[in-house]
Amino acid sequence: MRKTLSILSLAGLLAVGLHAESSNHAAPGVAPDAAWHMLALGNDRFAAGLTVAPHRDAALRRDLAGSQRPWAVVVSDADSRVTPEFVFDLGMGDLYVVRNAASIIKSAVEVASVEYAVEHLGTRLVVVLGHSGDGVVRDVLGGGAKNGSGIGQLAVDIAPAIDEARDKVAGLSGDTLENSAVEKNVLLQMKRLLQQSPGISGRVESGKIKVIGGIYNLETGRVRWLGEHPSQEDILEGKKP
């Protein structure tokens, strides 16, 4: 037991060192790959139970009252079990978070929210984050969404992803089909952002920012990174992937 505690303590100290070196409340303009690396390190700490819970003190709160300087945008599900600041072991001022059911990016509100962070706050990495066990995806797959209801509208919003999971991955069912639908939905929302925002797509094309996807596992606490959209080049050229 003592040896185990010593190993955990050492791992915790290493995690603190990594965090101090790579995060240290970075200013706006952090390069996309560097920001991605910082998120990945934080998620590793969270999944391993070695969180350092940074940037949550009163002094920083007062410092941030006058301005904010987030270095990544995260579009995530509003699910109570998926809190980006916890998932990536971060705190105040680190992330600009846009949350709704199923991580949808469809209306001007969602698109403009991401654009604001990129164009006015200087963030250079946008993450669209889905998660396992997504209740909306599960409900739509099971036929529980009713037309005319709010959930019915969500079903319409993610229908292309559901259809693609069913049509292009023949024979899948149960959890496998659900996981495929979650991934397809993340890719759908990434595609919509690139298609609907000339400002975002232009910056992606020039290499100034990146838009990537990820899927958070509720049980393990780990994010499986999807990277950039596999058809990003075609999307940017205005073609249908």
Query: Does residue 14 register a pLDDT over 90?
Result: no
pLDDT digits over 168-192, tens only?
656 788 889 999 999 999 999 999 9
> Is 40 a domain residue?
yes
Cα→Cα distances 54→6, 12, 50, 62, 124, Å: 22, 13, 12, 15, 21
Structural domain containing residue 30: 2-236
Q: What is the pLDDT of residues 121-132, one digit of tens each?
A: 999 999 999 999
Instruction: Inform me whether the pLDDT recorded for 24 exceeds 70.
Output: no
How far is Cα of residue 12 from the mean position of the Cα atoms in its chain? 25
Assess if residue 241 is contained within a domain: no
Across 5-14, 42-51, 191-200, least confident range: 5-14
Q: Is residue 75 part of a domain?
A: yes
Q: In whole numbers, what is the pLDDT of the chain averaged over residues? A: 87
Report which residue type is found at 29. Answer: G
The domain that contains 172 carries what CATH number?
Answer: 3.40.1050.10
Please compute the mean of the pLDDT values over residues 218-225 and round it to a whole number: 98
Report the number of distinct structural domains present in the chain. 1
For residue 100, is it within any domain? yes
What is the rounded (10 degree) CA torsion for 224, 230, 235, 236? Answer: 90
**pLDDT tens-place string over residues 29-86:** 899 999 999 999 999 999 999 999 999 999 999 999 999 999 999 999 999 999 999 9
